[in-house]
Structure 1
Amino acid sequence: MNIQQMRYVAAIANNGSFREAAKKLYISQPSLSHAIKELEKELDVQLFERTRQGASLTSEGMDFFQYTQPILAQVELLENRYLANEENEKHFSISSQHYDFLSIMISQLVKDFPDYNDFRIFESTTLNVIKDVEQYRSEFGILLFNDSNQAGLSRLLENGELDYEILTTFQTHIFMREGHPLATKSVIELSDLHDYSQVRFTQETNNYTYFAEDLIDFPGITQVIHTSDRATLTGILQRTDAYGSGSGLVEDPRGQGIVLIPLANSPENKMVMIKKKTRKISAIGEAFLTNLKKYFIDFQETQKNKKK
């Protein structure tokens, strides 16, 4: 029994058939079938029920699958840690909360680094982004820091042996539909919002407020609508007089029928890059950071010119 056979079992279980698993593993179906038969012979158990519809784990197979998952996870962690710095590797991965600028940055990298054959953008929740970088799956993570979450997130980063660098600072913005009663205001006061519903983006199902991406939260809100999907959040804003809050780093809000208005006297927010302390920044990583910092400078300059 070896690691490769464990991976074969996981691939078949996850894909529901030997044929689909063989495609994902880039091996022939007969080779995969032979490897599983050898493993079943060695273990003296039947791992899969084979039918015309596909393959499913037997009860013994399910036990084997569950026992091997922690092993495969540790192997992946070791590979990410010690194989990530190979000179011949042509892979770049970042993880982040959801932001429009990611597509712009990666599109530029694809043009500037045509010899790279694998790009990964992992957009997820705050905790998953931290774990992704901590476990060497991504070179960088992009997160939002504010007065409410910075202390808690800093502790998590320290525990994971992660550093962070501030990329830009920004003012909290209120999002609402173009025809909203407040849409013509140049600045929003907190008192303006008390009569309106708030749409909040919900992440991990826990009570840690420092995982929240919403930048304002105050008592006395008329109604709160929680959603874990960005498109749903935007759809609600388009169809109601509810509002949301965020960074304001949105490429084309008007194209979505949304306006972004600065919130008066809002505390300073930070967009930060997180990385493993022991991980050297690659050449493509340096290019990514340079392009991203320039994007933030240009974006804020454009916003200033619009206000003149």
Structure 2
Amino acid sequence: MIDLHINYWHYALEIENAGSIRKAAENLYMGQPNLSRALSELEESLGIRIFERSSQGVTPTKEGAEFLISARAVIQHIADVEKQFHPDLKDIQTMHIQVPRSGYTSEALSILLNEIDNSIPYEIKCEESVSSNSVKNIIKAQANLAVIRFHESEMLSYMKIFRENNIVFSKIWEYDYVVRLSANDPLAEKKILKTSDLQGYNEVIHAHRTANMFLPDHDNTGAVGYHKSINRIYVNDRSNQLNIVRSVPKTFMWGAPDMSLHEVEDGLIQMPFEHESLHYHEWLIHRRNYQMTDLEHRFIEILKEIVHRDYPPAE
């Protein structure tokens, strides 16, 4: 019966991920009536309604959302126990972290991979994710660790979310957003940019940027409270974004400071911007009961070493 219930838990989690019973049945390669019956049996055994059904799909109820979080945590714990004691799995080195789009996380991963003992099997998942999704995935135990990026004005809201969901957080670093430009742009001669300097410029924006699901609505173009461009170019791939900034006149993009882009030979520069509302933070978060693996500890150490090397604290 326990094995049967665990299978049903997997079904419920897939329904949540898919957003509908029909899509979940397709993903599970089973008939929709059989999946609906399994869900009904699970709800009856628990004495709760896990999902509200509608023509648009399914939405977890309050009790259902609590069950799904617990079920996911239990399934992950079972997997961890199997990995700990199974002779073919217990020696595998693992890391699962979600990070924002940045150069220093890519550098840290490269350093880690060059350090790793290849004689011991390993499984590393380093996934790019926006902060709101990373927080959601930590809460749902769909990721072990995450580095999140947020604006100064969002700090108290995030701290409230973390307290309510038993999430531990610690600072990686903080900084002011910079403007990235072509090294040949006339503005490259300036020491610091002002709002008036960007009038008439095109702005490159990450195409998948979405409003924060947890926090009050604010401008979702990248930096809170900054100059808003009339012309916006939405591009997903980072290399394409930088190529556009490099090659299209009067084009810029916002971003965290990135030492890998400091070389003029790359055709790009990044410049400070005179605005009081461009301060951002990056924090490490994980569930309170989660024990980081050796690889995860080392990855975070490397991140902090890079930050200290490239952006030492002011004396």
TM-score, with structure 1 as normaliser:
0.67
Structure 1 residues 96-150: Cα deviation after superposition (integer angstroms, max 9, x where no partner)? 1111222322233334342251000111222221122223333321111322332
Aligned to 2:17: none
> Mapping of 1:48-59 within 5 angstroms?
none
Which deviates the most, 220-229 or 87-96? 220-229
Contact 2:193–2:272 (8 Å) recurs in 1: yes
3-state SS of 2:31 partner? helix
Q: CA deviation at 1:75?
A: 5.2
Aligned mates of 1:281, 1:220 — CA distance in 2: 41
3-state SS of 2:271 partner? strand
Aligned mates of 2:280, 2:205 — CA distance in 1: 17
Aligned length: 259
Aligned to 1:221: 229
Structure 1 residues 8-55: Cα deviation after superposition (integer angstroms, max 9, x where no partner)? 9x99xxxxxxxxxxxxxxxxxxxxxxxxxxxxxxxxxxx99xxxxxxx
Structure 1 residues 155-213: Cα deviation after superposition (integer angstroms, max 9, x where no partner)? 33333321221111222210112222212222212221223232333523678546957
Instruction: Flag as ranges the 4+ runs of structure 1 deviating above 6 A.
Output: 4-8, 66-74
Q: Return closer, same or farther for 1:102/1:63 CA change in 2, 3 Å cut-off.
A: farther
3-state SS of 1:148 partner? helix
Aligned to 2:31: 61
Structure 1 residues 233-269: Cα deviation after superposition (integer angstroms, max 9, x where no partner)? 3243232412111111252465653211111354532
Contact 1:195–1:221 (8 Å) recurs in 2: yes
Aligned mates of 1:96, 1:268 — CA distance in 2: 19
3-state SS of 2:311 partner? helix
Superposed CA RMSD: 3.9
Aligned mates of 1:68, 1:178 — CA distance in 2: 61
> Mapping of 1:52-201 within 5 angstroms?
61-64=31-34, 76-81=72-77, 83-84=79-80, 87=84, 88=90, 90-114=93-117, 115-201=120-206
Aligned to 2:260: 251
Aligned mates of 2:310, 2:245 — CA distance in 1: 24
Q: Which runs of 5+ in 2 are unaligned?
A: 15-24, 40-49, 51-66, 85-89
Larger Rg: 1
Q: Return closer, same or farther for 1:5/1:163 CA change in 2, 3 Å cut-off.
A: closer
Aligned mates of 1:297, 1:199 — CA distance in 2: 29
Aligned mates of 2:8, 2:282 — CA distance in 1: 43
Aligned mates of 1:283, 1:145 — CA distance in 2: 27
Please tell me whether residue 292 in structure 1 is matched to residue 262 in structure 2.
no
Aligned to 1:39: none
Q: CA deviation at 1:271?
A: 1.7
Q: Return closer, same or farther for 1:66/1:232 CA change in 2, 3 Å cut-off.
A: farther
Residue identity matched to 1:101: Y
Contact 1:149–1:211 (8 Å) recurs in 2: no
